[in-house]
């Protein structure tokens, strides 16, 4: 079923909880949990009424390396026919590519339908499929290809396309032009403020993955949010008009701005947490405040911990369960989902706050193999804190058995 991601402006899920730098900085040396042969004390019914959602980075893999017990835990679930999905705030390449890569790393057969990246819900934004969308972030034109080839957006433009056609739009990208030229495509229309019907108009801005060139990307977003109706190279006469709502900013048919991943921090292979897409979001928010003298920035953010992403994930999980069980097993409703994650702000907060439209109850399990540092107080309290994914699955299966 098609989902409309409402361009809400000021609701709870567009207001990002501040993610402070963890007081204890994650250290490069972490102690992976011991990997033991997987066994539980319980027997699992033929059609279990529980299921799992797994975060990826910091739970199943860390950078390119699988975490101990990840293969064993997922293999056990598959053998027992316990449904699960993978729910990540990562992205930047096609779901098919990422699933193939993960299947190989974990030596587990995974289906693309079991997989939700930060930008996957954008695939259902049918209102924009015949419009012109600006796709930002990630390496080369990988995100633009996802939008075009996998999600079916008809007219996709990238900042690289724009700067190659008009290098003066951001002269400080001059040193990166060889890179941009290696994948840029011609613009569907020129920038022609003198004749708007023949000029490039952007209908929505989607940030699929972490921007690489913050200067160029910020400039292009800013130009569009200050434009008349999304025509690049124009300026709205409403900007700064105190008689209008929001002092006239974003009141003139400008494209809506969508972020796919709220994470301020994420755990890479570096020993200190690195800024994620949320870092760019905060930097742009500061720029917007300075330029507009503190006008509100109207935007939509999806990804964990927000309700729409969890709803999307639950639909995927239910579809996967149906495929696994067939109609007979579906007489048994899905009652409980265990979200296993390493980030209190996205995985735990999301599962704790999620209200399932299908009445399932979500429980959060925080593991110690990623962002969360053992011994610190998590900013959002999980149902359980356990060493790693294997311990999480074992605990959850036994917990479900008590229900």
Binding flag, residue 161, Mg ion (CB under 5 A)? no
Q: Is 217 exposed, middle or buried (0-12, 13-18, 19+ CB in 10 A)?
A: buried
Q: How far is CA 27 from CA 65, 70, 90, 243, 369, in A?
A: 17, 21, 21, 52, 11
Binding flag, residue 213, ligand G3P (CB under 6 A)? no
Nearest to 303 by CA among 204, 203, 210: 210
Site string for ligand G3P, 217-256 (x = CB under 6 A): ----------------------------------------
**Interface of this chain with ligand G3P, residues 266 to 325, rule: CB under 6 A:** 266, 276-277
When binding is defined by CB under 6 A, the residue of 14, 19, 88, 298 that contacts ligand G3P is 88
Q: Based on CB atoms, which residue is closest to ligand G3P, 108 or 202? A: 108
Distance CA 387, CA 292 (A): 47
Distance CA 273, CA 133 (A): 32
Question: Which one of Mg ion, ligand G3P, none interacts with residue 266, CB within 5 to 8 A by kind?
Answer: ligand G3P
Q: How far is CA 197 from CA 130, 131, 189, 232, in A?
A: 17, 14, 10, 12
> What residue has token string 């300075």?
290
Contact 363, 50 (CB under 8 A): no
Residues with Cβ within 8 Å of residue 277, at least 6 apart in sequence: 89, 118, 137, 207, 209, 210, 211, 259, 260, 261, 262, 263
Binding flag, residue 262, Mg ion (CB under 5 A)? no
Q: Which span (17-25, 86-94, 194-202, 380-388) binds ligand G3P, by CB under 6 A? A: 86-94
Q: Based on CB atoms, which residue is closest to Mg ion, 66 or 240? A: 66
Question: Which one of Mg ion, ligand G3P, none interacts with residue 120, CB within 5 to 8 A by kind?
Answer: none
- Number of residues forming the site for ligand G3P (CB under 6 A): 13
Binding flag, residue 378, ligand G3P (CB under 6 A)? no
Residue 402 exposure: Cα atoms within 13 Å on the Cβ side:
6
Binding flag, residue 263, ligand G3P (CB under 6 A)? yes
Residues with Cβ within 8 Å of residue 380, at least 6 apart in sequence: 344, 345, 348, 349, 352, 364
Q: Which span (36-44, 53-61, 159-167, 332-340) binds Mg ion, by CB under 5 A? A: 53-61
- Number of residues forming the site for Mg ion (CB under 5 A): 6
When binding is defined by CB under 6 A, the residue of 90, 248, 305, 344 that contacts ligand G3P is 90
Question: Which one of ligand G3P, Mg ion, none interacts with residue 89, CB within 5 to 8 A by kind?
Answer: ligand G3P
Question: Which one of ligand G3P, Mg ion, none interacts with residue 116, CB within 5 to 8 A by kind?
Answer: none
Residues with Cβ within 8 Å of residue 332, at least 6 apart in sequence: 45, 47, 48, 49, 325
When binding is defined by CB under 5 A, the residue of 58, 68, 308, 378 that contacts Mg ion is 58
Positions in the binding site for ligand G3P (CB under 6 A): 55-58, 88-90, 261, 263, 266, 276-277, 343
Positions in the binding site for Mg ion (CB under 5 A): 55, 57-58, 342-343, 370
């Amino acid at each position: 079923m098609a989902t409309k991601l409402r361009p809400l402006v000021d609701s709870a899920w567009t207001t990002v909880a501040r993610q402070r730098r963890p007081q204890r900085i994650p250290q490069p040396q972490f102690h992976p949990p011991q990997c033991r042969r997987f066994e539980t004390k319980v027997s699992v019914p033929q059609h279990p009424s529980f299921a799992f959602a797994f975060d990826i980075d910091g739970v199943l893999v860390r950078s390119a390396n699988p975490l101990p017990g990840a293969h064993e835990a997922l293999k056990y679930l598959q053998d027992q026919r316990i449904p699960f999905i993978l729910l990540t705030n990562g992205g930047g390449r096609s779901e098919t590519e990422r699933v193939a890569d993960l299947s190989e790393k974990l030596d587990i057969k995974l289906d693309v339908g079991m997989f939700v990246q930060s930008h996957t819900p954008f695939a259902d934004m049918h209102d924009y499929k015949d419009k012109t969308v600006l796709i930002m972030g990630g390496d080369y034109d990988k995100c633009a290809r996802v939008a075009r080839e996998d999600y079916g957006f008809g007219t996709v433009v990238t900042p690289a396309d724009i700067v190659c056609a008009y290098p003066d739009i951001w002269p400080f990208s001059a040193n990166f032009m060889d890179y941009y030229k290696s994948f840029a495509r011609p613009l569907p229309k020129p920038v022609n403020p003198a004749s708007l019907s023949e000029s490039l108009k952007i209908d929505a801005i989607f940030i699929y993955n972490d921007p690489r060139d913050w200067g160029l990307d910020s400039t292009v977003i800013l130009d569009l949010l200050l434009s008349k109706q999304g025509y690049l190279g124009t300026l709205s006469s409403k900007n700064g008009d105190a008689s209008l709502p929001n002092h006239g900013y974003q009141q003139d048919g400008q494209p809506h701005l969508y972020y796919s991943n709220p994470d301020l921090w994420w755990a890479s292979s570096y020993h200190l947490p690195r800024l994620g897409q949320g870092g760019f979001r905060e930097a742009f928010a500061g720029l917007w405040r300075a330029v507009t003298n503190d006008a509100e920035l109207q935007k939509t953010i999806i990804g964990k911990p927000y309700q729409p992403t969890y709803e999307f994930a639950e639909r995927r999980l239910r579809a996967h369960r149906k495929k696994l069980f067939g109609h007979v097993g579906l007489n048994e409703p899905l009652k409980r989902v265990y979200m296993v994650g390493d980030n209190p702000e996205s995985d735990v907060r999301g599962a704790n706050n999620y209200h399932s439209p299908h009445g399932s109850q979500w429980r959060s399990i925080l593991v110690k193999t990623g962002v969360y540092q053992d011994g610190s107080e998590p900013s959002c309290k999980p149902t359980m804190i356990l060493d790693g994914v294997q311990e999480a699955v074992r605990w959850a299966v036994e917990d479900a058995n008590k229900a």
